[in-house]
Amino acid sequence: MVITAKIILVLLMLFMVVNLFRALFAMLRNDPTKPSMTKYLGQRVLFSAIAIVLIVILLASGVLVPNPRPY
């Protein structure tokens, strides 16, 4: 279960990076027939919100254990 949760979180992070670069290319292209930059940035925000909610749920349920000594 822990490895599955970590894989899902890594995939969400990769989707965020991919959408960031897609927004960059949409901004540079500036083609009105293609989707705008805000679509990709909105998807990036959505994936990051999902990742944060998933991390909070996994921490609350005890699946993920935070580092007891962060230093």
Per-residue pLDDT band at 9 (split at 50, 70, 90): very high
State which H helix or E strand residue 56 sits in.
helix 37-61
- Identify the three-state secondary structure at position 30: coil
The yes-or-no verdict on residue 68 having pLDDT over 90 is no
**Where is pLDDT greater, at 67 or 60?**
60
C-alpha span between 36 and 21 (Å, rounded): 13
User: pTM here?
Assistant: 0.80
Compute the average pLDDT of residues 4-12: 92
